[in-house]
Amino acid sequence: MELIIALGIGLLGGCGVWLLLRPRTFQVVLGLSLLSYAVNLFIFVMGWVRGGRPPFIDPALPVVAGVFADPLPQALVLTAIVISFATTALLLVVLLAARGLTGTDHVDGEEPGE
- CA dist 101 and 6 (Å) reads 41
| Interface positions, 59-88, toward another protein (CB under 8 A) | 72-73, 76, 79-80, 83-84, 86-87
Task: Count how many residues are written for the chain.
Answer: 114
Q: Report, in Å, the least distance between residue 34 CB and another protein.
A: 10
Closest distance of CB 9 from another protein, Å:
10
Give the footprint of another protein on this chain (CB under 8 A): 20, 25, 28, 32, 35-36, 39, 42-43, 45-48, 72-73, 76, 79-80, 83-84, 86-87, 90-91, 94-95, 97-98, 101-102, 107-109
